[in-house]
């Protein structure tokens, strides 16, 4: 197991370094007018755009996570959000979620089959650099959230956490091709309803995406993510790591409506607590899918 873990760590580092080098290689050297709106362009990655002052929007999403090492595993989260841009460069959002689980015969997990109200979150994002006046766009964000179940196991409880992100994007080819790069840190704590005990974990990672406009208002491309799961809020002990990659498509349905569809599969991974296989199917899933949509008003 130690040898396999070391081999995967080296492969994951090479993949992460390749993504970072590609991102740095495509960075523009001079100011460029940003013409592509990146706020909703990606499925799993975040763009730096935050919308215009006074903009109001209703957004929805459905995220599915499927397949563990054995048995039946399906977890779905459906959300509805209200977004408002009160001042220049500041985006605010309130979200409610419904979760469902269909788990049977998965090693290490109790069988679960239910759907319920999942929790609430608030997203605050601030744009530091605008591509219209800078070589690239840059934004930072925080999304505190409260949930009623463990995200992976579906076990009922009280979960609290914050998702922090730093997001950069730039147009490789003006009005045609755009790239984005994210740094992620997500600490969480949970109290189990069954045992009353508290547990802490955190996730750190990077994400990289490239999208190309093939027709007016239609973008296709791909996204890659490298995620590391830790025990403890401060990245204390590595529990596992996974590398995900897959395609994304964005369609602007009208001047006020849009939809994004993304698929992501775990291409490499390793759980520190398991020697079975080359993927981390303890902390992550084999496949993930996401549909996002929204309407401005």
**Cα of 46 vs its chain's centroid, Å:** 8
**The Cα angle at residue 262 between residues 259 and 263, in degrees rounded to 5:** 155
pLDDT tens column, 252-263: 999 999 999 999
Q: List the chain domain ranges.
A: 2-296
* Cα-trace Rg, the chain: 19
Output the CA angle 260-75-69, nearest 5 degrees: 115
Q: Which pair of tokens denotes residue 45?
A: 């990655």
61 forms beta bridges with: 79, 292
Tens of pLDDT along 262-291?
999 999 999 987 656 789 999 999 999 999
- Residue-wise pLDDT tens digits, 48-105: 999 999 999 999 999 999 999 999 999 999 999 999 999 999 999 999 999 999 999 9
Split at pLDDT 50, 70, 90, the class of 6 is low
Whole-model pTM: value is 0.86
73 closest CA partner among 152, 165, 162, 149: 152
In CATH terms, the superfamily for domain 2-296 is monomeric porin ompg (2.40.160.40)
Mean pLDDT of 112-137: 96
The answer to whether residue 222 scores a pLDDT higher than 60 is yes
Predicted pLDDT of residue 102: 97
pLDDT given for residue 132 in this prediction: 87
């Amino acid at each position: 197991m130690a040898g396999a873990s070391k081999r995967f760590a080296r492969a994951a580092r090479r993949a992460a370094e390749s993504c970072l080098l590609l991102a740095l290689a495509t960075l523009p050297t001079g100011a460029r007018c940003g013409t592509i709106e990146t706020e909703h362009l990606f499925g799993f990655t975040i763009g730096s755009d935050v919308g215009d002052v006074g903009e109001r929007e209703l957004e929805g999403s459905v995220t599915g996570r499927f397949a563990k090492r054995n048995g039946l595993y399906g977890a779905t989260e459906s959300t509805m959000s209200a977004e408002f841009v009160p001042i220049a460069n500041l985006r605010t959002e309130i979200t409610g979620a419904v979760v469902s689980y269909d788990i049977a015969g998965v090693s290490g997990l109790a069988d679960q089959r239910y759907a319920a109200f999942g929790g609430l979150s608030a997203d605050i994002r601030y744009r530091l650099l605008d591509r219209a006046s800078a070589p690239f766009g840059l934004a930072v964000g925080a999304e505190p959230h409260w949930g009623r179940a463990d995200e992976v196991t579906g076990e009922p409880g009280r979960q609290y956490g914050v998702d922090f992100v730093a997001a950069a994007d730039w147009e490789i080819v003006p009005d045609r091709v755009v790239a984005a790069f994210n740094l992620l840190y997500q600490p969480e704590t949970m109290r189990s309803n069954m045992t009353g005990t508290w547990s802490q974990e955190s996730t750190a990672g990077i994400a990289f995406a490239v999208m190309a406009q093939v027709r007016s208002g239609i973008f296709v491309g791909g996204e890659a993510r490298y995620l590391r799961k830790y025990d403890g809020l401060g990245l204390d002990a590595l529990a596992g790591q996974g590398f995900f990659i897959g395609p994304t498509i964005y369609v602007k349905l009208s001047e006020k409506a849009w939809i994004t569809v993304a698929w992501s599969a775990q291409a490499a991974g390793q759980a520190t607590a398991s020697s079975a296989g080359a993927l981390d199917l303890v902390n992550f899933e084999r496949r993930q899918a996401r549909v996002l949509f929204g309407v401005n008003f």
